[in-house]
Amino acid sequence: MASHVKLFIRPSSTVGRITPAIFGGQNCIHLNGRVASLAYINNYRLLHSLKVYAASQNSFSTTTASYGPVADKYKSKEEKEADEKKKKTNKKHLILKALGVGALIGGALGYQSSQANKNRAQIANDDTVKEYILTEKPPEFQFARSIRTDTDKSGLKVTLYQYQTCPFCCKARAFLDYFGINYDVVEVNSVLRTQMKWSKYKKVPVVVIEYKDKTIQINDSSVIVSALFSQLADPEANLEQIMDCYPTIRYVDTDGSEKADIQNRYFLMYNEAKVNRTKEDIVEERRWRRWADDTLVHTLSPNVYQTPSEALATFQWFDTAGNWPALFSTWERYLVIYFGAAVMWLIAKRLKKRHSIKEDPRESLYDACNHWTKGLKKKGTKFMGGDTPNLADLAVFGVLSAIEGCEAFADARRNTAIGSWFDSMKESVNKRRGQLDL
């Protein structure tokens, strides 16, 4: 099927303006009229060509020195004319190159998505609506706890809506704790979900931040991590502008249901010049973060809910780890424990099939742990981030910490080398070592 991606670079759009200045020209751009991340087109030549093309169209200002008129002052008329001619030819070549590479990539992406998304229909997404800004503050709920450090450098007022032992919530917490961000926790009842009724997005974790005079809602653990890390990396950055870079794309799925997705959730929206990291380093971190969500996390449920008794033991551990006796009434607690264990035992069987987990799910868990520790060994450093953890370490640690008190994790410790890295991570997170890097 013929397919292509059209790229519009909008003049004078907010995102267009902040792109080169704050985000190193890397990330936000309008794709098919939607704000989208250009960074996931992992082709620097195309990116550069597009930037040059955009600059030549005066679509947005660029900080690249070669576009400045100052050097022209010292040239003869002939030299200037020759330069002008050369520039025009170069520009034509660049535009053609950009269009050529763009068409190739667009064709490839279009073909790939047409294969993957057969019969999926995109819904017109209105990018003028800032869905992440809440018009009304959420109702007040009793905080399960309030995490405070005197050395918080974020200056943000953060509320985390979570299940204590959900792997995605554990991941968000590992990040907040490691960087010493102060936050309040609202524990959501996983069956009644009363604490999430105010939100259109129904999953957890969700973070709500009082930012200047606005209330910002960030959905999805990876977006929480990416957006807040981008903010921490450059305290002058504006969280609202950062959030503009994570648009929610809506589409109708093959089963007719409406779905929403934030496709660039693993991308960091900061100025590369200010953050001293190589492109390879950033790409590797992103790859492992994706692996934590796409592979590692799927090994958990079939393991911890393998049999009815293991499922019940897991929920009893959740009861302790989540401090449920203090938070929920007795009937609510028992409803969640027994009903939850029964439902998850049934669901885990389906998940096992869907994610091609081995007949003995422990094997898949060990494979995942071994894959990670092999990656560490290859790198030859204590953490994937080197001497200190990076966002990939935090993601993998967060996900695994969800099952820390379960028999499955005790088995993984006994049968793989995951334990020593996990314990070092736990120490770094508990001691909020990330604050030292800010």
User: Which residues lie near ligand GSH (CB under 6 A)?
Assistant: 163, 166, 168, 190, 202-205, 220-222
Nearest in space to 167 (alpha carbons), one of 304, 280, 308, 43: 304
The phi, psi pair for 209, rounded to 5°, reads -125, 130
What are the structure tokens assigned to 105, written together? 């990539």
What are the structure tokens assigned to 421, written together? 């890295």
Nearest in space to 302 (alpha carbons), one of 257, 353, 267, 255: 353
Cα 11 to Cα 30, 47, 276: the distances in Å are 10, 17, 30
DSSP lists the bridge partners of residue 305 as: none
DSSP lists the bridge partners of residue 214 as: 211
Kindly state the smallest distance separating residue 201's Cβ from ligand GSH, in Å: 9
| Range list of H helices, 295-415 | 300-304, 308-321, 324-327, 330-334, 340-354, 361-379, 391-401, 407-415
Q: What single-letter DSSP state applies at residue 140?
A: P
Kindly state the smallest distance separating residue 165's Cβ from ligand GSH, in Å: 9
Q: Which is nearer to ligand GSH, 30 or 265 (CB)?
A: 265
Q: Is the peptide bond before 205 cis (omega within 30 degrees of 0)?
A: yes
Q: Which is nearer to ligand GSH, 173 or 432 (CB)?
A: 173
Q: Which is nearer to ligand GSH, 111 or 317 (CB)?
A: 317
Kindly state the smallest distance separating residue 39's Cβ from ligand GSH, in Å: 19
Give the number of residues written for the chain.
438
Q: Which is nearer to ligand GSH, 55 or 269 (CB)?
A: 269
Could you write out the DSSP letters of every residue in 229-278? HHHHH-TTS-HHHHHHTSPPEEEE-TTS-EEEE-TTTT---S-TTTS---
What are the structure tokens assigned to 268, written together? 């960091």
CB atoms within 10 A of CB 238: 14
Q: Do residues 50 and 98 make contact, with C-beta atoms less than 8 angstroms apart?
A: yes
Kindly state the smallest distance separating residue 27's Cβ from ligand GSH, in Å: 20
Q: Which is nearer to ligand GSH, 190 or 264 (CB)?
A: 190
Q: Which is nearer to ligand GSH, 131 or 363 (CB)?
A: 131
The phi, psi pair for 66, rounded to 5°, reads -65, -15
Kindly state the smallest distance separating residue 190's Cβ from ligand GSH, in Å: 6
Please give the positions annotated as active site. 163, 166, 168-169
Kindly state the smallest distance separating residue 197's Cβ from ligand GSH, in Å: 12
Q: Which residues contact 335 (CB under 8 A, 6 or more apart)?
A: 191
Kindly state the smallest distance separating residue 400's Cβ from ligand GSH, in Å: 14
Burial code (b: 16+ CB inside 10 Å, e: under 16) for 410-437 equals eebbeebbbeebbeebeebbeebbbbee
Kindly state the smallest distance separating residue 213's Cβ from ligand GSH, in Å: 27
DSSP lists the bridge partners of residue 230 as: none
Cα 156 to Cα 164, 180, 218, 227: the distances in Å are 22, 11, 13, 13
Output helix, strand, coil percentages for the chain, rounded to the nearest 5.
55, 10, 35
Q: Report the Cα–Cα distance between both ends of the chain, in Å, rounded.
A: 49
